Amino acid sequence: MHRIVRKEMVAPNTAMFHVEAPWIARKAKPGQFIIVRLDEMGERIPLSLSGWDPVAGTLRLIVQAVGYTTMKMVALNEGDFILDVAGPLGAHTHLPPEGTLVVIGGGYGAGAVLPNAHEAKSGGRRVLGIIGARTKELVLMEQEMRAICDETFITTDDGSYGITGVVTDALKIILDREKVGAILAVGPVPMMRAVSDMTKPMAIPTLVSLNAIMVDGTGMCGGCRVVVGGETKFACFDGPDFDGHVVDYDLLVRRQKMYKPQEAQALEHACKIDQQVRALR
Ligand SMILES: Cc1cc2nc3c(=O)[nH]c(=O)nc-3n(C[C@H](O)[C@H](O)[C@H](O)COP(=O)(O)OP(=O)(O)OC[C@H]3O[C@@H](n4cnc5c(N)ncnc54)[C@H](O)[C@@H]3O)c2cc1C
Ligand code: FES
């Protein structure tokens, strides 16, 4: 059992948790993730590590409520417990070692890129950050990104904050003015694909974190199969970070949609239970 020692709502439907898991906090590396199961009947969901504290023995997670389990998790509070936390899973991100690093985060990705930004900055590297969101209130982890990075750009689709536009608009500003050694992008697939499309002709090494559907997280079940450079890989074991220029994004999107009917059913079931509980109050 893993106690939630701190919870803060950081945007609508998005919570930041600090969760006790001392042995994972001692071993975690940037780019790795965990799989949580909230209770005995719960599904296993992968969550990126947005930070950890080996002394306090805690992990920091940013969770966006998009479906049944993430909604259930965002409803948990300080002092509540999570049944299982498995990890650290996945590989330490293998970034090219030199040159300016640009980290790009959309949604929970803004938290997920922070450990890599921190590691690169501590190693003496120039680090630039880009956070993209639909609107101002959805911008995540701005203060921490600004504290780590030499310069931080915010983009909002509706222009309510920062640059009006998407993350590639900010990336273009950077690429027009300076040489970049590597890019790490974590966020929705269309965002990672657009970043990769922009940097491919310039041959700038670009890593993306593949959010494939995962089950066991150990490379055994095959649930997270992705195709990268024509080869089959397991996102949970070989990744989740891969060369964005050679990812088969169409296949990734098709596989992500595989469980849509079951996901809809789970949500409908949850809504019905909610309604019944409200009726009893
Ligand atoms: C390596 C990895 C790290 C992740 N890190 C985080 C994180 O730090 N914070 C966070 O909030 N989410 C993260 N995700 C996504 C998260 O695991 C899914 O949002 C979650 O599994 C959805 O479960 P659900 O039951 O709430 O929704 P479901 O009802 O199962 O799904 C709802 C919708 O969410 C989307 N979805 C489902 N599974 C995934 C998935 N694996 N990846 C992306 N979208 C999905 C689909 O569009 C789906 O229709 C990560 C995913 C991966 C693979
Ligand atoms: S989740 Fe099972 S092989 Fe990756």
Report d(CA 170, CA 182) in Å as an integer: 15
Q: What is the pLDDT of residue 279?
A: 47
219 within ligand 2 shell (Cβ under 6 A): yes
Which of 14, 19, 66, 93 maximizes ligand 1 atoms within 8 Å of its Cβ, making it the mutation to test the pocket?
Answer: 66
Residue closest by Cα to atom 17 of ligand 1: 46
Q: Mean pLDDT, consecutive 10-residue segments, the chain of 281 residues? A: 97 97 98 97 95 98 95 97 97 94 96 98 96 97 97 97 97 97 97 97 97 93 94 96 96 80 61 48 40
| Confidence at residue 257, expressed as pLDDT on a 0 to 100 scale | 76
Q: Is the CB of 68 under 6 A from ligand 1?
A: yes
Cβ of 66 below 6 Å from ligand 1: yes
**Residue 36 in tokens:** 């949580």
Determine if the peptide bond prior to 115 is cis (ω within 30°): no
* Ligand 1: centre distance to CA 125 (Å): 31
Q: From 37, 70, 92, 114, give the residue whose CB has the most ligand 1 atoms within 8 Å, as the site to mutate.
A: 70
Contact 155, 163 (CB under 8 A): yes
User: DSSP letters along 31-97, please?
Assistant: T-EEEEE-STTPPEEEEE--EEETTTTEEEEEEE--SHHHHHHHT--TT-EESEEEEEESPPP---S
Helix (H) / strand (E) element for 165: namely: none
C-beta neighbour count of 162 within 10 angstroms: 20
Q: How far is the CA of 46 from the centre of ligand 1 (A)?
A: 7
Instruction: Pick the ligand that lies closest to the CA of residue 260.
Output: 1
Instruction: Give this prediction's pTM.
Output: 0.91
Residues 6+ apart with CB under 8 A from 200: 206, 245
Q: What would the two tokens of residue 236 be?
A: 């949970």
